[in-house]
Chains A and B, each alone.
Chain A
Amino acid sequence: MRRAALTLALMTTAALAFAHSAPNSLVKLTFQAHSVRAEIMVPESELAFATAAEHAAQPFPAYLLRHLAVETPAGAPWKVEVLGVRSTTYFDHPYLLADVVLTPPAGASATHFVFVDDAVTHEVRNHVVMVLARGKESAELLGALQYPARRLTVERP
């Protein structure tokens, strides 16, 4: 249901023709009892620069896992799983949308962690990864990552 609503929203916003040639990434986090669900939207135009720079063709999930991590504040790694990837558009720009589940190690908080992400930003200097917490009515901006910054501390009540 939630995904259907998002898709509808994306289709609606895409109706407004786009006039912006450098789209950015969006990471929308949904906090669950023992894990965090992440919906990661990466614009294909900017992703192409990033993958070309690595000189290694690889599926998007593999690329994402190379550039995405979550750690406890003490540095213990979380489990990161890409459940699926699909294409979408946002303001007429083609995006890849990954559905990712982030699971803390046993005993660690699921609401206090360090989000590490340099997808695209490792290459595209103006690119920004907007990290948001999904709410019932709207999203709340948690922070933004731009080269060389790749770590964002997240602490939710």
Chain B
Amino acid sequence: MKTKLLGKSLLSLLLICGGAAHADGACRDASGTQGEVRAVVAAATDLAKVLSAAENATLQRPLDRASAIRWSNLPIALVPRNGLRIGDLDTTKSAAARKLAEAALSACGLKLFDEVRLADDALIPLDTRKIGWGGGNYYFTILGKPSESTPWMLQIGGHHLAYNFTFNAAREGATPLFFGTEPIRFSTSGVEHEPLAAQSSAMSNLARVLAAHAPAKLSGTFTDVVKGVVFEMMPTPKGGTDTGFPQTYPSGTADRGILYSALPPAEQALVRAALESYASLPGDAITHTLVAAYEAPEALAQTYVGYSGAVDLSEKGSYVRIDGPRIWMEFVVQPAVAIPTDLHYHALWRDKQSDYGGQFRQ
């Protein structure tokens, strides 16, 4: 079902910020410098300069576990977020915030940032419950002091997006990275949007070939991503954030899918394409060492891929997973919330060793 709605508030914001979504599908610029800490620090510094003292106090928080894990896959009325709300920013401040997003993200990551918020705008007239739909309800948060040498975090997120980038930490800092969309497809002003087109296509392409391999079929039922947030954490309001970090992951060989090494070369290429569809969302400087680690022959030899449900991702419960020594990427199809007869997507990328740059593991 295509929802043809104009998300006026977010569209206006995008136009103000000069932020038309990229449509060419190329994730990286020619320089390959997206995500470089120097540029991200400079953009964060520029943003701070145009904010009031109160806004800076809202934007910047201490770098600690409690703040770092405060991301979710739920609307803000259920799980309030920290940080600077995009919908509260004027033209100058919006432009500065967007420069920060541009510094940290690839073109594809920026497009996702725009389209996920447009999708959230599309839900406003469809579901009038006061649960916080809307592209303005996304936030920028800086944990610690932006620096080219000491650890700090940039978080950009809201209902269906959680970018958590950690700079200068002991380990790589691209994850946790959650993203989703409802509606799956929609149009605004005659422009078609499908925020997770790249990732759903890549995961579906992988599932289609996995269907020919019996060991790749995962047991059980999937109604959400497996290593996401848990809303029911008591007592509230602690629930709905990443309180389960660090996660425990499957071990051994049972029920993890089929090994990458058991697949023919053409199908192995689909595994790499799927993982790159996620890993290409942050700037290249943030992810290139991770991709290299994931695609190292010894890592791929220990990487499992599995699926459940419909390989074309056309039914609720459809699920695809990449599970390696470090990599953990999931894609799941759920019933939609605003339109229960429809579907929506959740996707999650975790790194078993370096979520939050390897910090806060105790």
Contacts and interface: CB of A to CB of B under 8 A. Distances in A.
Chain B associates with chain A? yes
Interface of A: 13, 16-26, 28, 45-46, 49-50, 53, 90-91, 123-128, 130, 132, 138-139, 141, 144, 146-149
B50 interface: no
Interface residues of B, number: 32
Contact of A141 (B77, B228, B231, B233): B233
Interface in B214-235: 218-226, 228, 230-235
Nearest to A130: B232
Contact of A26 (B130, B225, B226, B234): B234
B221 A123 contact: yes
Contacts of A22: 223-224, 334
A126 B75 contact: no
Main secondary structure on chain A at its contact with chain B?
loop
Contacts, number: 89
B225 A126 contact: yes
Nearest to A132: B234
A148 B250 CA distance: 8
Given A46-B223, A123-B221, A126-B224, A138 B235 contact: yes
Contact of A19 (B235, B248, B337): B337
A18 B74 CA distance: 10
Nearest to B221: A49
Contacts of A148: 250, 255
Given A53-B221, A124-B223, A144-B244, A23 B234 contact: no
Contacts of B234: 26, 28, 130, 132, 138-139, 141
Given A24-B231, A123-B220, A125-B220, A17 B226 contact: no
Given A16-B77, A46-B223, A126-B225, A21 B233 contact: no
B131 interface: yes
Given A130-B233, A139-B234, 9 more contacts: A16-B78, A19-B77, A23-B232, A46-B223, A49-B223, A123-B221, A125-B222, A138-B235, A144-B230
B224 A19 contact: no
Contact of B222 (A13, A50, A126): A126
A144 B248 CA distance: 11
A19 B232 contact: no
